[in-house]
Structure 1
């Protein structure tokens, strides 16, 4: 599973591949779709403190996870032993919804496939 952080400057941050963050088709697809939607993507380390402080200040506006089974799933909050910080309103946001819709629309043939991901199986 991978995480994506939508920031208030129209950028998206996702942890860089490090051995604990796994590469994969879904991750690569999300990175392309986020770029297609007009967001700047940065792959770098992001600390729990940066996540917590960003969510509290509004700098981190949305967080979503992706994986083969999870597709694209909004993250409502970050919880730790002594507290919790909500992400936005806790219901996901427009970028998360747009990425999920774009991915599913290509997968189900409701949208054109500009990246050549789909093949016809008979």
Structure 2
């Protein structure tokens, strides 16, 4: 019972020590948005890990305060904070995270030319 993806979007967990964990599996498409978000987080000094994350680890991490933020990322939404995890027998709520929102802003600023693209992600096409 591991978390893999959410509606075609990659999921990211932020731990209280600043570590960012994203599920890794042969069944998950490693998206470009995911890779970009992880690179921007690493640029800020966050340790980034790819490993399995169970639903139980998610629930227990939120309850204990070890997981401070969860968000999904993908092409359409860029970054979407996750505030509620609902299951058959439970509802876990958590605050929407500042890191997710700031990473979204940084990535969209790069995409729209409001911030320097230090990773050469953009390619200008002249029509």
In which range does the TM-score fall when normalised by the shorter chain? over 0.9
Establish whether residue 115 from structure 1 lines up as the match of residue 119 from structure 2.
Answer: yes
> 2-side partners of 1:52 and 1:44: how far apart?
17
Shift of residue 119 of structure 1? 1.2
Per-residue Cα deviation, 1:94-116 (whole angstroms, up to 9, x for no partner): 11111101100100101000100
1:23 to 9, 22, 30: 30
Partner of 1:68: 75
Partner of 2:86: 79
Partner of 2:17: 9
> 2-side partners of 1:52 and 1:67: how far apart?
23
Map 1:25-104 → 2, pairs under 5 A:
25-87=32-94, 89=95, 92-104=96-108
> 2-side partners of 1:72 and 1:4: how far apart?
10
How many residues align structurally?
118
4+ aligned runs moved over 2 Å, structure 1: none
Q: Is the 8 A contact 1:56 1:86 kept in 2?
A: no
Shift of residue 23 of structure 1? 1.4
DSSP 3-state at the match of 1:117: coil
> 2-side partners of 1:43 and 1:95: how far apart?
18
Q: Could you list the runs of 5+ residues in structure 1 that have no partner in the other structure?
A: none
CA RMSD of aligned residues (A): 0.9
Normalising by structure 1, what TM-score? Answer: 0.92
